[in-house]
Structures are given as C-alpha cells and as structure tokens.
C-alpha cells in the first residue's frame, strides 16, 4: 500500500477486511448480509472521518454531541449493524421502518429490501435527517423516505411495517411500534431493562411481542417523549456513583457514607474466563437481586482515595437499606477470574450472601447458556391474562416479562426463587 493508492481502492480493501472479520467473529452468518455490507460504502455517510475509523468493526462514530459532550447521534459500529440485520431477517419487497436515522443503516436496509421494497427512516433531530437525506441521495438511495418526527408515535403514513429496527437506546416500547407492525413481523430494539441494554428481536403475536434473540450492545439514548432519566447517588464526591434505572429505593440518604466502613469480601464460587461474555451474568443479577443497581467508578479518583474500592470492575451492585454490595473480579491464575462480592454497611453479611448466592446459581444453571426470553405486553394487560415469569417490570407503556430457561435435569426450584419485581 502506497500514498498513491486511490482512496476508493483503500475503502474497498477495508470494507472486505471488515466483513471478513465479522464473518470470523460469527456476526455475519448469511450471504445476503455479507453482500449488502460489501456493497454499501460506509465512507459516503461519514466523509469527515478517517477511513480506518469508518471501517473499524467494533466501534461506532459519534456524529453529534450536546453541550456536555454526550453523544446525541452516531454511526453504529459495523458489528452492531450487521447483527441487527441478521436479527431482522429482512427479505426483498418488505416494508421497513428505521427509528433513529443517520443514513448508513438505511442504505443497508434499502439494499436488503431491493427496488420493490420500501424503507422509511425517522429521527427527531433535523440535523440528523438533513444529513441522512443528503448522504442517501448522494449515494444513490434517494428512494428512502426520510422523516423528521418523534418516533414515539412511529410513522403511520407508511405503515404497516414488516420490520421495525430501532437504532437508538429505548427504555420503553410505545404502543405505536406494535400497532404499526404486521402480525408475525419483527421489532428489533435496543431495550433497557434495569439499566442493561440488549438488542432484542421481538416477533408480534397479537398484542404482545415474543423475543427470538438478544445481544448486548450500546446505543445513544432515545430523545423526545421516549426519553428516560436514571436516578443517581454520588458517593465520595462523585468518585463513585450508584445508578438506578427503574425504581430507586424511597430513601437513599442512609447510603451517603456507606463506603466509609470496611468491606466484607465474599468469594461467590462463580467465575469467568478472560474475554468471556458477561451478558447473562449481568442480566441474571438484574432480575434476581432486589435493590439491583449499577455502580460507576472514576478510576483515577478511586485509586487516589484513602480506601479505594477493590477488585476488577464489573459495574454490578445492589443496595438493601443502608448496605451496599458490588461484584468484582479477581485474577486467580492464567485467564481465570473469580467473582467476589464486596459488601459495605452496618449489616453487610445478608446482602453479600444474597448476591453471592445468585452468582452461584448463574454459574451452575446459566453460564454459557442462551439467556432469558422477553415477553412484552401492554402495561394495561390484566394480571390474570399474563403468563408466569421469573421477573416482571412495568414501564410507561409496556410490561416486560423475563423468563430464564429451565436447567436441564433440574426441577428448577433454585431458579425460580424470587418474587416478580413490579
């Protein structure tokens, strides 16, 4: 490769390299998704960015931030886009709605549905829709409908849709997304439950949605009517923050000085291999441990404190009254990591035992497994019409039910051990 190599040739080389890496990683599994990602030039939708960055398989590109530097819009990583395309199982001739625009993904969708299909992309931000319209037209995808609107209400003028792909982080599932989807159609949405985002493929079955697959991904948060703010408690002058995404405890004042006590450290007996996905462990704790929250740590401030939090960072925590426990990794040799529970407060033992016990159950029954199934019902659905579930959570519009697979050869008594959370 020399400085005289044309930019277009370099882009083609990078495009093929990225697709090959995603095939080797198991993200791209179908010839159609492979062909589409080899066809569309990503650089056409991020002309201000270096080619190497545009084609980096695992990282997205922020295209707009707010005054505080928080991302408002981004070009998703090729890995995330390819996975959502695989999840959505799009066929030629389909009518597809994309919620959260930018142009790049809409171009992929236009290739997937072909000339007899239709793609609509909607965004609340005029900067984003103007940019998407311009880039789509220049790249030869002017047939895509670009709509400026709050996607909380979908885009009824082009409904019903065979597929709806949400490319921003959603806390809830508005009724319009279900109503504008055909029976048997798929909604692919990065849905937050207990602060944990998973891109879930959900099939419409009457007035409910049933999950087919889910994978951990991060997306910029929804704006407009669908926006949602978490509750945070700052500890040690903000060096440590507890984040409650759903229903925080009624009174958090008892935790303000919780980290001033000596921690009780408990070995859960569970562990991970370095590089092993943590997604099922995180979601298991989120759906089985009362008082679950996320713990965010400023590494530099923590290291400089008189009593730094110990262990490797996992971000998983729980509170019980004036007690706090978090999960930390500990190297035990080679590529093996043990999962410890660090508990603080006036009576930390019970909370530490609860969290450690759930980690042990996850290790025994769900480590390496497929993860839970999601069922989404209207929040107004009567209790008598709902199926049994391991975890239930009411949002503004939707009731989310999560069920874990029954352990093979087990009567399941230790897997169904907690009340539904509402």
User: Residue 348: helix, strand or coil by DSSP?
Assistant: helix
CA nearest to 360, candidates 306, 284, 418: 284
Q: Distance between CA atoms of 233 and 379, rounded to whole angstroms?
A: 28
- Candidate list 73, 74, 76, 403, residue with the active-site label: 76
CB atoms within 10 A of CB 312: 14
Q: What is the DSSP string of 222-270?
A: P-GGG----EEEEEGGGTEEEEESS---S--GGGTTGGGSPPEEEEEEE
Close Cβ partners of 354 (under 8 Å, ≥ 6 residues apart)? 289, 290, 318, 320, 325
CA distance 199 to 88: 11
Query: Between the CA of residue 60 and those of 38, 73, 136, 373, 420, what are the distances in Å?
Result: 18, 10, 19, 27, 36
Rg of the chain (C-alpha set): 23
76 is catalytic: yes
Judge contact between 65 and 126, C-beta under 8 A. Answer: no
Question: Is the CB of residue 200 less than 8 Å from the CB of residue 189?
Answer: yes
194, 243 in Cβ contact below 8 A? no
On the 0-12 / 13-18 / 19+ scale of CB atoms within 10 A, 179 is middle
Q: Both ends of the chain: CA-CA distance in Å?
A: 59
Active site residues: 76
């Amino acid at each position: 490769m020399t400085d005289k190599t044309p930019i277009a040739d370099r882009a083609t080389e990078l495009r093929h390299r990225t697709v090959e890496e995603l095939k080797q990683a198991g993200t791209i599994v179908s010839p159609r998704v492979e062909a589409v990602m080899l066809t569309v030039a990503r650089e056409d939708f991020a002309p201000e960015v270096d080619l190497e960055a545009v084609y980096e398989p695992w990282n997205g590109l922020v295209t707009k931030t707010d005054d505080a530097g928080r991302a408002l819009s981004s070009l998703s990583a090729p890995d995330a886009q390819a996975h959502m395309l695989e999840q959505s199982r799009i066929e030629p001739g389909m009518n597809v709605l994309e919620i959260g625009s930018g142009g790049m993904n809409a171009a992929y969708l236009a290739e997937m549905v072909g000339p007899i299909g239709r793609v609509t992309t909607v965004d609340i931000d005029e900067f984003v829709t103007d940019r998407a319209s311009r880039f789509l037209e220049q790249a030869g995808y002017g047939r895509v409908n670009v709509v400026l609107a709050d996607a909380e209400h979908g885009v009824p003028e082009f409904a019903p849709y065979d597929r709806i792909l949400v490319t921003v982080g959603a806390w809830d599932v508005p009724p319009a997304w279900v109503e504008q989807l055909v029976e048997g159609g798929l909604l692919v949405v990065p849905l937050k439950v207990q602060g944990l985002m998973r891109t879930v493929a959900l099939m419409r079955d009457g007035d409910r949605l049933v999950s087919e697959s889910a994978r951990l991904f991060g997306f910029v948060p929804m704006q407009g009517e669908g926006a949602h703010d978490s509750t945070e408690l700052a500890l040690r002058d903000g060096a440590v923050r507890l984040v409650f995404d759903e229903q925080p405890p009624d009174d958090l004042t008892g935790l303000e000085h919780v980290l001033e006590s000596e921690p009780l450290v408990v070995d859960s007996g569970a562990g991970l291999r370095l590089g092993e996905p943590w997604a099922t462990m995180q979601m298991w704790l989120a759906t089985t441990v009362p008082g679950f929250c996320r713990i965010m740590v400023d590494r530099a401030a923590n290291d400089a404190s008189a009593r730094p939090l110990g262990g490797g960072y996992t971000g998983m925590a729980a509170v019980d009254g004036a007690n706090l426990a978090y999960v930390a990794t500990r190297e035990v040799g080679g590529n093996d990591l043990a999962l410890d529970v660090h508990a603080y407060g006036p009576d930390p033992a019970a909370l530490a035992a609860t969290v450690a016990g759930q980690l042990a159950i996850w290790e025994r029954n769900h480590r390496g497994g497929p993860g839970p199934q999601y069922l989404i019902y209207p929040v107004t659905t009567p209790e008598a019409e709902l199926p049994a579930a391991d975890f239930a959570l009411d949002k503004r519009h939707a009731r989310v039910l999560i069920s874990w697979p029954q352990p093979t050869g087990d009567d399941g008594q230790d897997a169904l051990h907690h009340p539904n959370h509402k």
